[in-house]
Amino acid sequence: MGSKSPFHVDLMAVHSEVTGSCNLVIVKYPDGETTRFIVDCGLFQEKEYSQYNKDFPFEAKNIEFALVTHNHVDHIGRLPLLMKKGFEGKIYTTKATQVLSRYALADSYKVLKDVAKRNHEPQLYSETDVDKTKEHIVGFDFEEIQYINPRTKVTFLKNGHLLGAALILVQLSYPGEEDINLLFTGDYNNKNMFFDVPKLPEWVTKLPLTIIQESTYGDMNSNEITRVFEKNVLGKIADDGSVLCMVFSLGRAQEILYVLKRMQDDGRLSKEIPIYFDGKLAHQYTNLYLNVEIGIRDDMKEFLPENLIFVDKNYRPAVIEDEKQKIVLTTSGMGTYGPAQVYIPACIQRPNWLLHFTGFTTEGTLGSNIKETQIGEKVMIGALVCTKRAEVAYTTEFSAHAKADEMIEFLNQFENLRMVLVNHGEHDTKIEFSARIADEVKTKNVAILSRDFFFRIGHYGLIRQMSTKFN
């Protein structure tokens, strides 16, 4: 049947920009039945959107199930709140993400508990909500077609963004109607140093599809990336300085450890210089990489540099006070949470230090604010007023997100692309990337997802758009 078929989905994004990832999908069948599910349920990390963390623009109890693309807090951090608000369904993801999420959710609870205490606010959710969430998570193998219900089948396809990360194919069916096929990219990358990323199965690329496409680096091509990390680190070390690296607990931390090891093995970085590694969750993930079969290639199992010292909160003050040359790796990647909140105020005021961010820093985070602050100017770090004296550097070379040209190549492999809905990107980036898709990709429709509009989708793609009437 054509676009007037009563079989359709209404789809919206809970957040218009990068963090707080959550897509609401409402499936309406010709027999009057309705199914509601969400894809991801993440925390908002930008200050200006923090009020959105407290509630959902839908009734949690009406959500039949949840799908999770990967184990980052901006994609899973509000799952316990969903449980608290009345959700009783299953949370489906990959087996690796199921293992990893147990650590992430427990850590996220502790971070949010500290933030609530500091701000004299109620906690978003309880430890009981976290435990309940863990019990509801179900892990699947990649490329296994799973029936969530008689009318919904889901396939997780390997994604290079992160260990366990997946593209999620959702196939919706009804007797006598053409299937509606939705592909959620999550945070997408086409490669990863720790595991192989296979090509998509041919049967997937031939499907008539509506793709929900991330756009984090939609304004940048892969040939625009300058590899500066090693040069920056070695330069500061040669000047008898020290380096503080902000890393994400999962993926980035292990990648930077490997890069430092490679620099040691090549003789470019002295093995005498101690490398301090701080962040409880990052330690836990690193142990999983080393000791648990969760998809790491055998040849990448030995990635730890020499003279590596694992640091906890008790040893942390000694590391900061010691004036000897060193390299420190700490979480979080944007500097907003974790031990970075202790290291950054101390190190940013020392001219012999280099503070190096190793990935994307969302507008409004500490990492972004430091970038905008000039040497000699004041910057607020929590309640502390600090003078920026240290060198600060940023690099996107380790990004776990594909760049614009790589995403265009990804989209062009599909033979029957009905619509592309762009999400997970800053406002101007999404506009620029959407225009490029319209020019370079064979598809009938391109639009930008937000909390302002529902897009009604059928087998043939876009039917119409409607205001959500949300605040």
In a shared domain, residues 310 and 430: no
In a shared domain, residues 84 and 189: yes
- Where among 361, 394, 427 does a domain terminate? 394
Q: Domain containing 338 — which CATH number?
A: 3.40.50.10890
Q: Residue 268 falls within a domain, yes or no?
A: yes
In a shared domain, residues 285 and 407: no
Count of structural domains, the chain? 2
In a shared domain, residues 178 and 296: no
Q: Residue 286 falls within a domain, yes or no?
A: yes
Q: Residue 254 falls within a domain, yes or no?
A: yes
> What's the pLDDT score for residue 41?
94
Q: Residue 448 falls within a domain, yes or no?
A: yes
In a shared domain, residues 313 and 334: yes
In a shared domain, residues 382 and 238: yes
In a shared domain, residues 390 and 244: yes
With tokens 């280099």, the residue in question is 354
In a shared domain, residues 126 and 53: yes
Q: Residue 426 falls within a domain, yes or no?
A: yes
Query: What pTM value is reported for the model?
Result: 0.90
Q: Evaluate whether 436 touches 219 at the Cβ level (below 8 Å).
A: no
Q: Residue 320 falls within a domain, yes or no?
A: yes
In a shared domain, residues 335 and 272: yes
Q: Domain containing 458 — which CATH number?
A: 3.60.15.10
In a shared domain, residues 121 and 80: yes
Domain limits at 356? 226-394
- Where among 332, 361, 394 does a domain terminate? 394
Task: List the one residue out of 390, 377, 398 whose CA is nearest residue 348.
Answer: 390
- Please report, for residues 78, 130, 324, the alpha-carbon distance to residue 136 in angstroms, rounded to integers and kept in the order given: 14, 10, 48
Q: What is the crossing angle of helices 229-238 and 252-265, to 10°?
A: 60
What would the pLDDT profile of 312-325 be if each residue is shown by its tens digit?
999 999 999 999 99
Task: List the one residue out of 360, 16, 396, 23 whose CA is nearest residue 186.
Answer: 23
What would the pLDDT profile of 251-280 be if each residue is shown by its tens digit?
999 999 999 999 999 999 999 999 999 999
In a shared domain, residues 239 and 329: yes
- pLDDT (tens place) for every residue of the chain, 471 residues total: 344 458 999 999 987 777 789 999 999 999 999 999 999 999 876 665 667 778 888 999 999 999 999 999 889 999 999 999 999 999 999 999 999 999 999 888 887 887 778 778 888 899 999 999 999 999 999 999 999 999 999 999 999 999 999 999 999 999 999 999 999 999 999 999 999 999 999 999 999 999 999 999 999 999 988 899 999 999 999 999 999 999 999 999 999 999 999 999 999 999 999 999 999 999 999 999 998 888 899 889 899 999 999 999 999 999 999 999 999 999 988 888 889 999 999 999 999 999 999 987 877 778 888 888 889 989 888 888 989 999 999 998 988 899 999 999 999 999 999 999 999 988 899 999 999 999 999 988 999 998 888 999 999 889 999 988 654
Strands 353-357 and 137-140, how do they pair?
unpaired
Q: Evaluate whether 163 touches 194 at the Cβ level (below 8 Å).
A: yes
- Where among 359, 394, 429 does a domain terminate? 394
Three-state SS at 40: coil
Task: List the one residue out of 129, 128, 177, 125 whose CA is nearest residue 151.
Answer: 177
Q: Residue 3 falls within a domain, yes or no?
A: no
Phi and psi at 272, nearest 5°, equal -80, -20
Task: List the one residue out of 343, 342, 394, 340 whose CA is nearest residue 368.
Answer: 394
Q: Residue 239 falls within a domain, yes or no?
A: yes
> Which structure tokens are listed for 113?
């508990």
Task: List the one residue out of 247, 446, 232 whose CA is nearest residue 332.
Answer: 247
In a shared domain, residues 346 and 405: no
> What's the pLDDT score for residue 108?
83
Residues 6 or more apart whose Cβ sits within 8 Å of residue 42: 15, 19, 20, 21, 22, 72, 73, 74, 75, 76, 77, 78
Other CB atoms within a 10 A radius of the CB of residue 125 amount to 24
Strands 275-278 and 378-381, how do they pair?
unpaired
